[in-house]
Amino acid sequence: MRALVQRVTAAAVRIEGEVVGEIGPGLMILVCAMAGDTDDKPAQLAAKIAKLRIFKDEAGKINRSLADVGGAALVVSQFTLAADTSRGNRPGFSQAAPPAEGERLYQAFKAEMAALGIPVQSGRFGADMAVSLVNDGPVTIWLEV
């Protein structure tokens, strides 16, 4: 699984103008299941993200995790993270998991984050979404497990 994680002061996802997920301080997580991902990947990715020390401590150093600061997560499915741009100018997405498998792993990832005590909001798998966020820092991290 792949994820693009952004530390945010606020983030929201809308579908047809309606807010379906919204958070204050925390992480905006774009997530993509890859072809061949196994059932253990959602838990591995969730644990990594929940413990990722990218929030400031009392001294202003980046030393605290999402769990430490009590932040929330806005999780949005993003199959385009599987883009292969090695040939030509049109990205290929054949490395992404098939839709049914991708949705299953996406739902498992959200459940794993919640099981770690992280408040989770989300978009809707496969929907055309409008995502807005205020990147804090900015801090943006690419992860793959």
Positions marked catalytic: 78-80
Instruction: Give the pair of three-digit tokens for residue 23.
Output: 């958070």
Token digits for 21?
């997920």
**Residues 90, 103, 34, 76, CA torsion sign:** positive
User: What distance in Å separates the CA atoms of residue 73 and residue 7, rounded to the nearest whole number?
Assistant: 10
CB-CB contact of 82 with 99 (8 Å): no
**In the numeric block, which tokens belong to residue 16?**
């047809």
Looking at 62-98, list the stretches that DSSP marks H as alpha helix, in order from N- to C-terminal side.
Answer: 66-69
Q: How many CA atoms lie within 13 A of 26 on its CB side?
A: 22
